[in-house]
Amino acid sequence: KWGATYFDGLLRGGARGGHREMCELAKEWGANDFNRMLLNGALHGHREMCELAKEWGATNFEGMVRNGANAGYHEICELAKQWGTT
């Protein structure tokens, strides 16, 4: 079988770059690693990607706050706190 089949990489890359349409396409094609999407969005300060990942079922808010803090994104840390990180 030929062609691309690993769409979680597309999901993570889209989140890393803040590209909602790439994340939506990846999900449509079967990607489902929404926690990694959340972590990549947080690491690069993309609030919209974090919100979308949560909407789709992501729950790793501890990792989100850690990545947000490591990259210096105060807003991301505040959002993770609102969502229930301890």
- The residues, ordered by sequence, that sit 6+ positions from 32 with a Cβ below 8 Å of its Cβ are 8
Q: What is the pTM of this model?
A: 0.93
pLDDT at 23: 98
- Per-residue pLDDT 10s for the chain (86 aa) are 557 788 999 999 999 999 999 999 999 999 999 999 999 999 999 999 999 999 999 999 999 999 999 999 999 999 999 998 66
Task: Report the candidate in 37, 33, 67 with the shortest Cα–Cα distance to residue 50.
Answer: 37
Rounded Cα distance between 4 and 24, Å, is 16
